[in-house]
Chains A and B, each alone.
Chain A
């Protein structure tokens, strides 16, 4: 018992040591493999303590899973990462509810304790809900489903009704003995939880996706921890707990980044009235192409040459990338522009808003892929005081996160949201697709400032031309 506890403790310490190394990218790389080591250790402990039946089957399916996982992991592109991560939350959910189901229905063994049974039932519900919710999220992020929120009539009522039915079914299942009727009830419970996950996830879209994906991260961890309670395995509980903690923190960071409560994101209460009729520019996938063609080179030569002129004179430049940059696939151009400015002796920094991408930290990964020097990437709190001494803020595909209305007015859906203070810079260059507002639907007064140069069009092209003008 005691050695068992110490071994488990050792694995947990290694796992936490892995997470503790997530401070710098090289450290995180070591941390990632440290955590993998902890997991391998946990696996070894379980295999040592228990003799498995059906070893050939276990080996074959494990090898299959490793192959598929590695194959997908090597091929996925960085722009697909949010969809991939959401899909993996779903896979975690599947594993959790399958384990819970088998534990609950298995007849050949001593009955589960009351606590184990409750945990298994909860694990089943949370796992199935995470599974379906994640598939919806993944579909939206991969642009296979409509990305805007889908609101059903009486959406909240449906959610509550489903939750009540699931609760009742769960209680019923808890009192049923093993047998065919239990299997049926549990199957209905799985289907019902999956339905709940879908109804829950379809309403969230666009700029709220980072909250959803972080939340599903937390529920996937919770499902794993519940499975751990069900089978009485401390390692499972501990690993699940770290994941739940991580998901909770990220959810909190994302909500704070938008100044919205979790409840308001998930229930749609205090819904953004302006958002519904608007076709939010930041989440439309590919209109970039047609609009870019409409802008004739001669027509906007002026803003571009004006930007070039300003950039030549500037000493300090801050670039603010938004999700529009990723949609235009302009990260390469943006990073090259930054490098060109550095060559010209300017001080260049990148300011990334917490909710700039479609998942926490997404923008950083996209810029890293474009080989940015990550020492130039700054968080909102570290750079906001520098805008006042900055010559030019270049905004690329961002709107809401630099909208001064968020701090100056109190009656907009984004009021109170922390913004990057681009408007404090001496000059502002806006390289957005068009003048339409961002996801919130709030018009950006920054566009009307005299010090602002507006460069509409496909950012890949406009940034490229500005860079060409500087060489």
Chain B
């Protein structure tokens, strides 16, 4: 019973602390925040790994393996996407003045780049 109590305390305390910290995250960072918390929520990887801490039946092996793949997909994908997004945020102290391609070409280049991905 003390275990259950301790677990509830952990949940409550971390939820409250997280709430206080996250409430102050600016809107600008809400998408990266959600993307990162996605990676964090894939801590179920721990549960999936622990399935393999004891002898497993073939069915359990398959389900456990599937759980590991989906969870670790989230971990790896989540952190990498978040980093990609955040890397795009730039501050410019001086307005950029640079040569730009004619509009049509530029747009075509942007389009083909996007289509390629």
Chain A contact residues, CB within 8 Å of chain B: 12, 15-16, 18-20, 22-23, 25-26, 28-29, 31-33, 35-36, 39, 42-43, 46-47, 50-54, 57-58, 61-62, 64-66, 68-70, 72-79, 81, 84-85, 88-89, 91-92, 94-96, 98-99, 101-103, 106, 108-109, 113, 115, 213-214, 217, 220-221, 223-225, 227-250, 253, 332, 336, 339, 342-343, 352, 354, 359-362, 364-365, 368-369, 371, 373-375, 377, 379, 460, 464, 468
Contacts and interface: CB of A to CB of B under 8 A. Distances in A.
Contacts of B49: 43, 46-47, 50, 52, 58
Interface string B32-71: 1111111111111111111111111100110111111111
B40 A374 contact: no
Contact of A35 (B40, B53, B85): B40
A73 B51 contact: no
Contacts of A214: 34
B19 interface: yes
A213 B38 CA distance: 11
Nearest to B86: A29
A241 B43 contact: no
A32 B48 CA distance: 23
A78 to B, nearest CB: 7
A52 B43 contact: no
Nearest to B17: A16
A425 B31 CA distance: 29
A39 B39 contact: yes
B25 A237 contact: no
A52 B52 contact: yes
B97 A343 contact: yes
Chain A at the B interface: SS class? helix
B21 interface: yes
Given A53-B53, A365-B88, A224 B43 contact: yes
B31 A244 contact: no
B36 A32 contact: yes
B56 A53 contact: yes
B41 A240 contact: yes
A249 B90 CA distance: 26
A249 B21 CA distance: 11
Contacts of B73: 65-66, 68-69, 72, 88, 91
Given A92-B38, A364-B31, 14 more contacts: A19-B22, A62-B69, A65-B75, A73-B81, A89-B38, A91-B73, A94-B67, A228-B7, A228-B47, A237-B14, A245-B15, A361-B33, A365-B32, A371-B90
A250 B43 CA distance: 20
Interface of B: 3-4, 6-7, 10-12, 14-19, 21-57, 60-61, 63-92, 95-97, 100, 103, 106-107, 110, 114, 117
A244 B38 contact: no
A248 B21 CA distance: 13
B77 A361 contact: no
A88 B43 contact: no
Contacts of B67: 94-95, 98-99, 102
A236 B75 CA distance: 14
Chain B at the A interface: SS class? helix
B38 A32 contact: no
A320 to B, nearest CB: 14
A247 B100 CA distance: 41
Contacts of A102: 51, 60, 63-64, 67
| Residue among B32, B34, B70, B100 with most chain A CB within 10 A | B34
A79 B113 CA distance: 13
B85 A85 contact: no
B95 to A, nearest CB: 4
Contacts of B91: 373-375
Given A108-B54, A249-B22, A364-B27, A35 B17 contact: no
Given A69-B80, A354-B27, A98 B19 contact: no
Nearest to A84: B81
25 contacts: A29-B83, A54-B52, A54-B61, A62-B72, A66-B75, A88-B73, A92-B41, A96-B44, A103-B51, A108-B54, A108-B57, A217-B34, A231-B47, A233-B46, A235-B43, A239-B41, A239-B43, A246-B34, A249-B22, A361-B27, A361-B30, A361-B32, A368-B90, A371-B90, A373-B91
A43 B44 CA distance: 10
A458 B102 CA distance: 19
Contacts of B10: 234, 237-238, 241
Contacts of A223: 41, 44
Nearest to B51: A102
A42 B75 CA distance: 13
Given A29-B87, A220-B41, A242-B37, A233 B50 contact: yes
B95 A72 contact: no
Task: Give the 3 A-B residue pairs with the shortest CB-CB distance, closest first.
Answer: A361-B30, A65-B72, A69-B76
A245 B13 CA distance: 11
A65 B74 CA distance: 8
A29 to B, nearest CB: 4
A220 B70 CA distance: 13
A471 to B, nearest CB: 10
Contacts of B96: 339
Given A108-B55, A225-B11, A365 B31 contact: yes
